[in-house]
Chain A
Amino acid sequence: MDTFASLALGFEAALVPTVLLYCFIGVFLGTLIGVLPGIGPLAAISLLLPITYYIGPAAAIIMIAGVYYGSQYGGSTTSILLRIPGTSSAAVVAIDGYPMTQQGRGGIALLMTTIASFAGAMIGLVILVLFAPAVAEFALNFGSAEYFAIMLLGLLSAATLSASLLKGAAMVVLGLVLSMVGTDVNSGVSRFDFGFVELYDGINLIAIAMGLFAIADIISNAVGSEGPRRIGKVSFRSMVPTRKDIGRSWPAILRGTGVGGFFGALPGAGLTMASFIAYATEKRTSRTPEEFGNGAIEGVVGPEAANNAAAQTSFVPTLSLGIPGDATMALIMGALIIHGITPGPLLIDQHPDIFWGLIASFIIGNIMLMFLNIPLIGIWLSLLRIPYRMLYPAILIFVCLGVYSVNGNPFDIYLVAIIGALGYVLSRLSFEPAPLLLGFILGPLMEEHFRRALVLSRGDITVFVERPISATILSVCTLILLWSIWKAWRHRPMDAPEGTS
């Protein structure tokens, strides 16, 4: 059966009215939980899972998948408007999205992210359909040494996000240090818990994200150190991007999609890493890197295209190998297993209706998301009309709810307050919080892969340079590092005296 005939079969399964309804519910809920800070797709899907017992497997998986990729559309909204990432993969969008809002260009940022999301998802989908088996096969070459190398690349990208490489690296390391808290996967020993039972599972990621971004920002505003908030006009006219915006955006969208499509297909690499590397790619390839951090539109659309492309291609390992890349994917796979369908190499042959139905639903779902999100922009923008003194208590409530909802433990609320204070101090010292977040997310994974690579090599550290893929990635890391250092060194004498050029 060729791809088009299969897709036709898929549309037949996905266009059944009830299935269509579940698809809509999925993407709608996804957008909503994406916008709400602190509530991620994992929590939402866990809650939805019991419902899926009562509906057919196709409808169930289509709805749950909709929540997953739908949340990637919503995540950037609060990132851009309020500097509060709705999902961790949208944290990097805040770096340039929030300055755009301050310049009165928030509407353009929102419109362009919706378009970038749609384009990224659709191209990611093409990759998924055409190359799923080949991509999955390639991903099998990735052992622990390769994963360690690729995560190092991710961290290096994160470090180069800020203006100062040294400050970026410091934040990555701080993130790694914080991620050490909690039970060690390898030995079951609880580390740095200071006797707090609540720290056995590590510091709550949501508490870190909300503390560093939302709470730190609220403290800054209360102290008045950020100056008065400049919020531009909120009209529909302000949503229309200029020719220049579009010209700068589309190459960034394509690059972001490429980066995201690749990292999404690697089981375990994750959407957050995809968006960080996409940002670093934009900054590095830009002819005007000094604009980054001050509202460069490439820094918004590139990562946004990347995390949506990754959200689609992360279905590759799950559907074609039966290997879930992250906890959320494991849950999606679990939903199928409960219905007696095991995702894996035989899925396409044994359950073509499920496989192609899901693919068709991705197309339908993304179109729905586009039409859902563009009219919503006006509503989100009007959030900015609310005076800050009335907005911030609402933000605080949402942050507390989101943080509390993860473990149902008040401890995390105290934690978010402490991290918020830390975030304020860091922002006063002009440290960018996003690299810390990636360091925190990748820390435990990196440690696990590093130790496993060494176990497999019987303690021989040269394993990282002996394996070709790992060696290649590490060389890229070295080049980036050397280039950054060289650039910093070259720029130093140019900044001080005038008239060198």
Chain B
Amino acid sequence: MTKFTTKYLTGMLVAIGLAGTLTTAKPLSAQDVGDNFPERLITTVVPFPPGGAADTFARLLSEQFEQRWGQATVVENRPGGGGIVATRHVVGQPADGYTFLIVTVGHAVNPSLQDSLPYDTLNDLTPVAMVAQLPSVLVVNAGLEVETVADLVEMAQANPGGLTFGSSGNATTSHVAGALFTTLAGVDMLHVPYSGSAPAITDLIGGQIDMMIDPVLSSAQHVETGRLRALAVSTAERSALVPDLPTMAEAGIDGYEFGAWFMLLAPAGTPEPIVAKVNAAINEMLKTDAMTDRLARLGAEAVSMAPSDLQAFLEAEIASYAEIVEAAGMKVD
């Protein structure tokens, strides 16, 4: 109680003092806003339920923020609607640097997937930092009689619409990765959406669905125990996480390149010094061995980018996914 009272009185004095300075001196400059940040609770909104990759990255970042700045942080899960529910929520928050949103590929797919969005993807949000990239692997049920990607394509061609691929929901990374595969391989496979990766992997193990292209971590143990078979890695180059797997291009799918990325955004108009400060902090922490190691254990690789490059990256991704959506005939179904 005493501690509280002291704190309260100090707060009052500071407030009175501040009010005094404000009336006499010039208003706080943008630089001061950046220097003083953070002064209160930072919220990171995750558009998925707890436990997934985006959620884990958000919690890792929050932990680092807390250690670095000694400021309390909170991770808020607002799942649903392929990330739209969370994004719309964040767009409506004050652009004061205390609300962030972690997004993944789905964010760049939604503009071409949905007829209309309750926000403007490029103008209502400002990119803050790139967090990580997650290579995916193409996995099939071990009972499916295919040993290579070529076998799978052959089977799918012989049986149009007969094979199924799962995803963790519409417009999620695994949906995009699967659609990109069917488009480039020229095959017709049925898309089955789930609510999250875990139930989809469960059904893949149980043989209810045939294939899925999902981040390394979600299937690694099942590949090791022989329930699932990994055929290829989704990135342009082989990944250090699964060095023995061929890339899609090596396996015969020319031009296939897909990596799930995780990016931190803030409402548009968030003060530039704050964006710069958070970006620098994240890039710095991504360089540490401890962080690289933790990311590797999550099946991820660290990627750093400046805020200015991020906007261009996002624009390029949106354009390229518009093509995939068009070619694959992906739509909300």
- Tell me if B164 is interfacial: C-beta within 8 Å of chain A: yes
Q: Are the CB atoms of B81 and A190 closer together than 8 Å?
A: yes
Count of A residues near B, CB < 8 Å?
44
Task: Choose, from B186-194, B240-248, B260-268, the stretch at the interface.
Answer: B186-194
Q: Are the CB atoms of A337 and B208 closer together than 8 Å?
A: no
B122-159 interface (Cβ within 8 A of A): none
- Tell me if B201 is interfacial: C-beta within 8 Å of chain A: yes
What 0/1 pattern do residues 133 to 177 of A give for CB contact below 8 A with B?
Answer: 000000011111000000000000000000000000000000000
**Contacts of B66 on A, CB cut-off 8 Å?**
50
What 0/1 pattern do residues 212 to 255 of B give for CB contact below 8 A with A?
Answer: 00000100111011010000000000000000000000000000
- Tell me if A411 is interfacial: C-beta within 8 Å of chain B: no
- Tell me if A482 is interfacial: C-beta within 8 Å of chain B: no
Q: Are the CB atoms of B193 and A186 closer together than 8 Å?
A: yes
- Tell me if A323 is interfacial: C-beta within 8 Å of chain B: yes
- Assembly CA distance A267 to B62 (angstroms): 30
- Assembly CA distance A144 to B204 (angstroms): 12
Q: Are the CB atoms of A452 and B81 closer together than 8 Å?
A: no
**Contacts of A182 on B, CB cut-off 8 Å?**
80
**Contacts of B259 on A, CB cut-off 8 Å?**
none
**Contacts of B55 on A, CB cut-off 8 Å?**
334
Checking A49, A321, A340 against B202 with a beta-carbon cut-off of 8 angstroms, the contacting residue is A321
- Tell me if B84 is interfacial: C-beta within 8 Å of chain A: yes
Take A327-B50, A334-B55, A337-B56 as given contacts and tell me if A188 and B84 are in contact as well, using a CB distance cutoff of 8 Å. yes
- Tell me if A338 is interfacial: C-beta within 8 Å of chain B: yes
**Contacts of A330 on B, CB cut-off 8 Å?**
49-52, 196, 198
Q: Are the CB atoms of A331 and B202 closer together than 8 Å?
A: no
Q: Are the CB atoms of B198 and A201 closer together than 8 Å?
A: no
Closest chain A CB from B164 CB (angstroms): 7
- Assembly CA distance A241 to B88 (angstroms): 55
Closest chain A CB from B179 CB (angstroms): 15
**Contacts of B208 on A, CB cut-off 8 Å?**
143-144, 456
Q: Are the CB atoms of A324 and B198 closer together than 8 Å?
A: yes
Closest chain A CB from B244 CB (angstroms): 18
Checking A49, A324, A345 against B59 with a beta-carbon cut-off of 8 angstroms, the contacting residue is A49
Take A50-B62, A140-B206, A322-B221 as given contacts and tell me if A340 and B297 are in contact as well, using a CB distance cutoff of 8 Å. yes
Q: Are the CB atoms of B221 and A342 closer together than 8 Å?
A: yes
- Tell me if A484 is interfacial: C-beta within 8 Å of chain B: no
Closest chain B CB from A325 CB (angstroms): 9
- Tell me if B325 is interfacial: C-beta within 8 Å of chain A: no
Closest chain B CB from A43 CB (angstroms): 11
- Assembly CA distance A142 to B190 (angstroms): 20
Q: Are the CB atoms of A267 and B206 closer together than 8 Å?
A: no
Checking A53, A187, A267, A452 against B332 with a beta-carbon cut-off of 8 angstroms, the contacting residue is A187
Q: Are the CB atoms of A188 and B63 closer together than 8 Å?
A: no
Checking A197, A337, A344, A458 against B222 with a beta-carbon cut-off of 8 angstroms, the contacting residue is A344
- Tell me if B82 is interfacial: C-beta within 8 Å of chain A: yes
Which residue in chain A gives the minimum CB-CB distance to B55? A334
Q: Are the CB atoms of B85 and A201 closer together than 8 Å?
A: yes
Take A342-B221, A345-B225, A346-B221 as given contacts and tell me if A323 and B198 are in contact as well, using a CB distance cutoff of 8 Å. yes
Q: Are the CB atoms of B192 and A456 closer together than 8 Å?
A: yes
What 0/1 pattern do residues 38 to 50 of A give for CB contact below 8 A with B?
Answer: 0000000010011
Which residue in chain A gives the minimum CB-CB distance to B191? A455
**Contacts of B190 on A, CB cut-off 8 Å?**
455-456, 458
Q: Are the CB atoms of A143 and B332 closer together than 8 Å?
A: no
- Tell me if B289 is interfacial: C-beta within 8 Å of chain A: no
- Tell me if A232 is interfacial: C-beta within 8 Å of chain B: no
Q: Are the CB atoms of A185 and B50 closer together than 8 Å?
A: no
Q: Are the CB atoms of A324 and B51 closer together than 8 Å?
A: yes
- Tell me if B41 is interfacial: C-beta within 8 Å of chain A: no
Take A188-B82, A201-B80, A342-B221 as given contacts and tell me if A337 and B298 are in contact as well, using a CB distance cutoff of 8 Å. yes
- Tell me if A286 is interfacial: C-beta within 8 Å of chain B: no
B166-181 interface (Cβ within 8 A of A): 169-171
**Contacts of B171 on A, CB cut-off 8 Å?**
188
Which residue in chain A gives the minimum CB-CB distance to B217? A342
Closest chain A CB from B209 CB (angstroms): 7
**Contacts of A46 on B, CB cut-off 8 Å?**
50, 75, 77
Which residue in chain B gives the minimum CB-CB distance to A185? B195
B28-52 interface (Cβ within 8 A of A): 49-52
Closest chain A CB from B74 CB (angstroms): 8
Closest chain A CB from B75 CB (angstroms): 8
- Tell me if B269 is interfacial: C-beta within 8 Å of chain A: no
**Contacts of A346 on B, CB cut-off 8 Å?**
221, 224-225
A173-219 interface (Cβ within 8 A of B): 182-183, 185-190, 197, 200-201
**Contacts of A183 on B, CB cut-off 8 Å?**
80-81, 84-85
- Tell me if A245 is interfacial: C-beta within 8 Å of chain B: no
Q: Are the CB atoms of B50 and A187 closer together than 8 Å?
A: no
A347-365 interface (Cβ within 8 A of B): none
- Assembly CA distance A49 to B63 (angstroms): 11
A465-496 interface (Cβ within 8 A of B): none
Closest chain A CB from B188 CB (angstroms): 12
- Assembly CA distance A338 to B52 (angstroms): 11
- Assembly CA distance A224 to B148 (angstroms): 73
- Tell me if B288 is interfacial: C-beta within 8 Å of chain A: no
What 0/1 pattern do residues 309 to 338 of A give for CB contact below 8 A with B?
Answer: 000000001000111100100110110011
- Tell me if A268 is interfacial: C-beta within 8 Å of chain B: yes
- Tell me if B205 is interfacial: C-beta within 8 Å of chain A: yes
Interface residues of A (CB under 8 A from B): 46, 49-50, 53, 140-144, 182-183, 185-190, 197, 200-201, 267-268, 317, 321-324, 327, 330-331, 333-334, 337-338, 340, 342, 344-346, 448, 452, 455-456, 458
Given A50-B62, A185-B80, 12 other A-B residues pairs in contact with their CB atoms under 8 A? A46-B75, A50-B73, A143-B206, A144-B208, A185-B195, A187-B170, A268-B199, A321-B202, A330-B50, A342-B220, A345-B227, A455-B192
Interface residues of B (CB under 8 A from A): 49-52, 55-56, 59-60, 62-63, 66, 73, 75, 77-78, 80-82, 84-85, 88, 114, 161, 164, 169-171, 190, 192-196, 198-199, 201-203, 205-206, 208-209, 217, 220-222, 224-225, 227, 294, 297-298, 332-333
19 contacts between A and B (CB under 8 A): A50-B63, A50-B66, A53-B63, A183-B84, A185-B80, A185-B169, A187-B170, A188-B170, A200-B88, A317-B202, A322-B221, A323-B202, A324-B51, A338-B60, A345-B225, A346-B221, A346-B225, A456-B190, A458-B190
